[in-house]
Structure 1
């Protein structure tokens, strides 16, 4: 299943207009996701990880560059070709492999290929009818023995219906599919509102 064409075109328009100087990208803060910074520092306290990592919905690459700084071989992808081009331009010396990619139509070579999968707010960017398929896409990237981090904003009173289409707890839990298991799910206060932080893993094959 490919991504909703309207969503794809909308994001490409946003990034193309930003590149032309017409308007900024609202979610571009020029820094990695704050909680990801904390999580990487705690999870890899020695400063080094190991293996391959995927960063979903990479935008301009701030999260991807952070993960790569820990020694991971990072593939970062976004539905917008312009976002990927700008990420490469912003990080000309980067070791990250930036690619245009569709979470709902992933290349076969990426399936079960990554030891670490990072998903920060991409699921909520999609319409609700695509959330289950997108969650399965996240799970499908995780290799045997690998782990997944999901960060998504929690719905609150007065939030508009979307976009973004904020996730209920059970929608985050849907990442636990295709052999992937939920290991911890928390609601954490953060800048701009509470976030779901889900940690998942695929048990290593014996």
Structure 2
């Protein structure tokens, strides 16, 4: 007897809805990573390699990490953090899920990055304007839309003067109403992308490209620079 494989996106949505029903909008991350570690679920965004749009940005921008500090938001199992650490950045990578951090450390036992548990909605105060490079991939969009402005504000706040923020996210048309989105994820509108800016944090590059898995799904890649 065989059973059909579980759609990882449907499984993550189910866990998210259960957490939301318990007024715990971020608890599903730990539940998902814990289930994945036990082999009973799949993390949809765990690619086993750095995100292709991050890799492409690194190849094009050729950032130098010598003497600089980087922060990877929502590090998951660590593949994006490893790429950044290998560039020479003193890299901190965090996730709200203890199991995700434990898995990242197991996956990369000789890592140059520092992995730690932290909450984007309540980050350490010492991270204020502390990093030369901040990488945010798919974390804000994994939060319910009412929580996204607060998360966005914290992401932007991590960038120090002269520093760079790179955001990669699923794209949504501005005219698509919030209540039409059956998340997670809750993709970002152009207005949500612009919300990462501040008077001294400017959007300097924005690309929208089709997902390699679906011609009807698009991704943002946005680069910001703090004066």
Report the TM-score when normalising by structure 1: 0.90
Residue-pair matches, total: 197
Report the counterpart of residue 60 of structure 2 in structure 1.
42
Report the counterpart of residue 222 of structure 2 in structure 1.
198
Report the counterpart of residue 87 of structure 1 in structure 2.
104
The one of 164, 184, 198 aligned to 1:147: 164
Which sections of structure 1, spanning at least 5 residues, go unmatched? Answer: none
| 1:178 shift after superposition | 6.2
Distance in 1, matches of 2:71 and 2:85, equals: 10
Report the counterpart of residue 10 of structure 2 in structure 1.
none
Report the TM-score when normalising by structure 2: 0.82
Contact 1:8 1:80 in 2 (8 A): no
Consecutive aligned runs of 4 or more in structure 1 exceeding 6 Å deviation: none
| 1:77 shift after superposition | 0.5
Distance in 2, matches of 1:118 and 1:27, equals: 15
| 1:8 shift after superposition | 2.1
Report the counterpart of residue 7 of structure 1 in structure 2.
25
Contact 1:111 1:141 in 2 (8 A): yes
Report the counterpart of residue 170 of structure 1 in structure 2.
191
| 1:16 shift after superposition | 0.6
| 1:41 shift after superposition | 1.2
Distance in 1, matches of 2:196 and 2:71, equals: 15
Which sections of structure 2, spanning at least 5 residues, go unmatched? Answer: 1-19
| 1:80 shift after superposition | 0.6
Distance in 1, matches of 2:122 and 2:181, equals: 29
Residue 127, structure 1, aligned to residue 148, structure 2: no
Q: CA RMSD in A?
A: 1.8
